[in-house]
């Protein structure tokens, strides 16, 4: 661990479980507890539990909160109902992405979950915008955020919350995707959202402090034993999000890769006169079309394209790999790449320069891997 790396509140818990730690986004985080592949497959087939407390938790309150957020985020929040979550982006005036985040409307405030490495940058912009509109900004340091993911996630959460439900707590397992509720899990006050970053069904569970977070972590692990739940680290989280075709800031999102390049045009609300950061630049991209697009690639052979590798169309360089790895589910090398829009159609065969070897790679529709429920439905249809 570097001297500058911060530790999450449950750091000692992870070390006691034998986790291998790594620096990520300024934090010392579990990269794995045992086998990357075992943790990946647990989430795809059963359930996995991640500690993602390195993510920033920001709360915006006050009568000016809706106006403030509407003036900053690419998506409207004024029409967001209480208990609804929305994936959105905070952009600069050039249309570059400062951060992508999930905003949830609660009874008395908005909850924003921002990326660990971008928390300071996002906070600076949010504080400036909220000051203009008379809204209050609170950064909840020391919080615990857990991600319970996988097809058995609802069963595990129900078991861990059984006593709470008997005592009248809201049943978070009944939530639809991108809904949230304030409730209790293992007797701890939490905000539970049906969201995640793995492409599978699941929940993100926000706790105010280390003591409550430890109690919920232990309860979920105990409740998930019969379902085959495993604690999971960042390595599995990355291969899961890659198979799901989900972007990672600094790879598929950034100053030159925004919502239109990444396939998230739908979150940019241009259908009213609302002014927000980057609107003019994003309107131009909406009209002209993006010059580059993020695409999925399946490569031949066994060597996975890695971030930074050049993508070729014949002898012409047409893009760069942004993320790549062997797919544990598909058993083939997969990658996301930023390529010229002219070669972004599914079925196009390109090549990747893998350390001096030109490896054929075919553009495919995303996601690479469907969620378990949709995979089962597809098998039934066959």
For residue 66, pLDDT over 90 is answered with yes
The 3-class secondary structure across 6-73, one letter per residue, is: EECCCHHHHHHCCCEEEEECCEEEEEECCCHHHHHHHHHHCCEEEECCCCEEEEEECCCHHHHHHCCE
Distance CA 377, CA 67 (A): 42
| Residues 218-229: tens digit of each pLDDT | 999 999 999 999
Neighbours of 229 (CB within 10 A): 25
Asked if the model's pLDDT at residue 4 lies above 80, the reply is no
Residue 2 pLDDT greater than 50, yes or no = no
pLDDT at 356 over 50: yes
Note whether 13 and 216 are within 8 A (CB). Answer: no
Q: Can you give the pLDDT at residue 1?
A: 42
| 277 SS3 class | coil
Q: Where are the beta strands (DSSP E) in the chain?
A: 6-7, 20-24, 27-32, 48-51, 56-61, 85-91, 97-105, 109-114, 136-139, 144-149, 180-185, 188-193, 202-207, 230-231, 292-299, 310-313, 316-326, 333-340, 349-354, 357-364
CATH for the stretch 57-138: 3.30.70.1400
**pLDDT for position 3:** 55
Domain 6-53+142-241 architecture? 2-Layer Sandwich (3.30)
The predicted model gives 188-211 an average pLDDT of 98
295-351 pLDDT, tens digit per residue, is 999 999 999 999 999 999 999 999 999 999 999 999 999 999 999 999 999 999 999
Which DSSP helix (H) or strand (E) runs through 280? helix 279-288
Nearest to 306 by CA among 285, 289, 322, 327: 322
Mean pLDDT of the chain: 96
Does residue 91 have a pLDDT over 90? Answer: yes
- What's the token pair of residue 257? 């890769």
- CATH topology assigned to domain 292-382: Elongation Factor Tu (Ef-tu); domain 3 (2.40.30)
Omega cis (within 30) before 338 = no
Tell me the mean pLDDT in the region 246-265.
98
Q: CB within 8 A of 91, min separation 6: which ones?
A: 74, 97, 98, 258, 259, 276, 277, 278, 281, 282
Q: What is the pLDDT of residue 380?
A: 76
CB 101 within 8 A of CB 77: no
Annotated domain spans of the chain = 6-53+142-241, 57-138, 292-382
The pLDDT of residue 183: 98
């Amino acid at each position: 661990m570097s001297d500058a790396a911060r530790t999450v509140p449950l750091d000692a818990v992870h070390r006691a479980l034998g986790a291998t730690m790594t620096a990520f986004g300024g934090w010392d985080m579990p990269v794995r507890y045992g086998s990357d592949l075992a943790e990946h497959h647990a989430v795809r087939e059963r359930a996995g539990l991640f500690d993602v407390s390195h993510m920033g938790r920001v709360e915006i309150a006050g009568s000016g909160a809706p106006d403030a957020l509407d003036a900053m985020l690419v998506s409207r929040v004024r029409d967001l109902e209480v208990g609804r979550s929305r994936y959105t982006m905070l952009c600069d005036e050039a249309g570059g992405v400062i951060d992508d985040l999930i905003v949830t409307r609660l009874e008395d405030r908005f909850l924003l979950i921002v990326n660990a490495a971008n928390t300071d940058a996002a906070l600076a912009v949010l504080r400036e915008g909220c000051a203009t509109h008379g809204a209050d900004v609170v950064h909840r340091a020391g919080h615990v955020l857990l991600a319970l993911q996988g097809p058995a996630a609802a069963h595990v959460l129900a078991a861990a919350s059984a006593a709470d439900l008997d005592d009248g707590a809201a049943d978070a397992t009944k939530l639809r995707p991108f809904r949230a509720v304030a409730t209790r899990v293992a007797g701890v006050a939490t905000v539970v959202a049906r969201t995640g970053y793995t492409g599978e069904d699941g929940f993100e569970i926000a706790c105010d402090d280390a003591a409550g977070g430890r109690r919920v972590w232990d309860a979920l692990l105990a409740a998930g034993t019969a379902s085959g739940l495993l604690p999971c680290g960042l390595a599995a989280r990355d291969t899961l999000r890659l198979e799901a075709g989900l972007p990672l800031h600094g790879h598929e999102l950034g100053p030159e890769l925004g919502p239109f390049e990444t396939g998230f045009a739908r979150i940019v609300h241009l259908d009213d006169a609302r002014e927000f950061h980057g609107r003019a630049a994003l309107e131009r991209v909406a009209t002209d079309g993006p010059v580059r697009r993020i695409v999925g690639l399946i490569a031949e052979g066994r060597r996975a394209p890695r971030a930074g590798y050049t993508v070729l169309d014949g002898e012409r360089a047409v893009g760069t790999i942004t993320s790549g790895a062997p797919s544990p589910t598909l058993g083939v090398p997969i990658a996301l790449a930023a390529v010229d829009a002219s070669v972004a159609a599914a079925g196009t065969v390109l090549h990747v320069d893998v350390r001096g070897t030109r490896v054929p790679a075919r553009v495919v529709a995303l996601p690479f891997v469907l969620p378990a429920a949709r995979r089962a439905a597809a098998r039934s249809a066959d």
